[in-house]
Amino acid sequence: MKRPIYLDHHATTPVDPRVLEAMLPWFSESFGNPASRNHAWGWEARDAVDKARRQTAALIGANPREIVFTSGATESNNLAIKGLGWHARHNRMVTCQTEHKAVLDPAEWLEEELGFEVERLHVDPDGTIALDELEEALQQPSEIVSLMAANNEIGTLHPLDEISRICRRHGAHLHVDAAQAAGRIPLDVKALDIDLLSISGHKLYGPKGVGALYVRAGLREKMEAQMHGGGHERGLRSGTLNVPGVVGLGAACEIAAAESDAEAERLSALRDRLLERLTAELDGVHVNGLLAPRLPNNLNVSFEGVDGETLLGKLDGVAVSSGSACTTADPQPSHVLRALGLSDKLAQASLRFGLGRSTTAEEIEQAADQVIAAVRRLRALSAVGSART
């Protein structure tokens, strides 16, 4: 069976062959525990982890001592939000309706377990927040602001420089979920004045099950670990490090730092070509989220007059995501598209395209052919259906 064209790079990315090659020796040849201080097996593993820490820090302009390795962005977000929430001076947090569940759920936990007040900012129909609403929300002293760098569904970018300035002015800590942005757009935690930032290995051509949290120097003393036992990662995240995973994350970060500018240019041209074909050859195509600035590899569109699930069923040659969260038997329209004000019907009739390193111009033409044909077929069928009734 021929596998469909993979245009779902927001869900996950393949491990880059160069990353895999860097990881392999650390499974069996050099299997030491970096916490073993008394022999060469431990020392070489510790050196490998140190190198990965420098590579990861370099991607985001951090100091290596500010990197905490975790199991992924979900854990990094939990550590940032709950870890800071635990010793909070102000039981108040500000986030946004379009954040990932890995931010919204820890925020809800603070609300339920620590009695926090959580304000979830609204977005405009193009997915952007109003900065004066953030300013307004921070009139009440708040401990944490958590706003993502780039949205995983609609690719919208939050203006982090202005957001951090507002947070600083009101004495709130800023956490940024950068799972989609890291390695795709430039990020500099010092220039942007960010306190905490989450990264995921498998979203940037590294392995699954590894990630990092950047913790600004001086802030870890105000945080509570979420995993206890052994005091690894200078007390903030106990547990023997996943050395092959950490090495892979480091290699992935180094490759992204070297190649992402050129890759962003290539992918945004392909993405623009895809959009151009869809809008030229179909009526009733809506782009979800502000078109620019946006992640270079993202396109999210709704198609009037089609049923999303049926459309996805017809698109067996293209691997994409739809605008409904299929986590339950009864698919719910995406909370992000709903926050933009889309009707449930239009939200469900949407597709998220996520282009990536392996995506070619030819694949984009083929994917466009298939989407256009499928939408036309479904619309023709529903016209016949409604003519009969």
Catalytic residue set: 326
Quick check: 213 binds ligand PLP (CB under 6 A)?
no
Instruction: Point out which span in 72-80, 127-135, 314-322, 341-349 binds ligand PLP (CB under 6 A).
Output: 72-80
> Pattern of binders to ligand PLP over 173-192, x per CB under 6 A?
----x-xx------------
CB of 152 vs ligand PLP, minimal distance in Å: 4
Q: Tell me how far, at minimum, the Cβ of 377 lies from ligand PLP, in Å.
A: 32
d(CA 249, CA 342): 37
In the complex, least distance from residue 99 CB atom to ligand PLP, rounded to whole angstroms:
8
Q: Are 126 and 340 contacting, i.e. CB atoms less than 8 angstroms apart? A: yes
Q: How many other C-beta atoms lie within 10 A of the C-beta of residue 230? A: 12
| Least CB distance to ligand PLP at residue 373 (A) | 30
* Size of interface with ligand PLP, in residues (CB under 6 A): 13
Which member of 152, 156, 321, 348 binds ligand PLP (CB under 6 A)? Answer: 152
Q: CB nearer to ligand PLP: give 201 or 308.
A: 201
Prior bond to 293 cis, omega within 30?
yes
13 binds ligand PLP (CB under 6 A): no
Instruction: List strands edge to edge, sheet with 92-96.
Output: 67-70, 211-215, 196-200, 173-177, 144-146, 92-96, 117-121
Query: For residues 53 and 79, what is the distance between their CA atoms, to the nearest angstrom?
Result: 18
CB of 384 to ligand PLP, least distance (A): 40
Pick the closer one to ligand PLP by CB: 96 or 374. Answer: 96
> How crowded is residue 279: how many other Cβ atoms within 10 Å of its Cβ?
14
- Provide the minimum distance between the beta carbon of 200 and ligand PLP in the complex, in angstroms, as a whole number: 3
Q: Single out the residue of 55, 112, 58, 59 nearest to residue 82, CA to CA.
A: 112
User: For residue 185, which of 271, 263, 287 has the smallest C-alpha distance?
Assistant: 263
Is 211 an interacting residue with respect to ligand PLP (CB under 6 A)?
Answer: yes
- The single residue among 46, 100, 158, 271 that binds ligand PLP, judged by CB under 6 A, is 100
Name the H helices within the chain.
Answer: 17-23, 40-60, 73-86, 101-113, 131-137, 160-169, 243-281, 308-314, 335-339, 344-348, 361-388
Structure tokens at 378: 């479904």
What does 164-212 look like in DSSP terms, one character per residue?
Answer: HHHHHHTT-EEEEE-TTTBTTB---TTTTT-SEEEEEGGGTTS-TT-EE
Closest by Cα among 113, 106, 100, 195 to 154: 100
Residue 74 makes contact with ligand PLP by CB under 6 A: yes
Among 200, 300, 334, 359, binds ligand PLP (CB under 6 A): 200
Asked whether position 203 contacts ligand PLP by CB under 6 A, the answer is yes
107 binds ligand PLP (CB under 6 A): no
- The verdict on 106 binding ligand PLP (CB under 6 A) reads no
Should residue 156 be labelled a site residue for ligand PLP when binding is judged by CB under 6 A? no
Contact residues for ligand PLP, defined by CB under 6 A: 72-74, 100, 102, 148, 152, 177, 179-180, 200, 203, 211
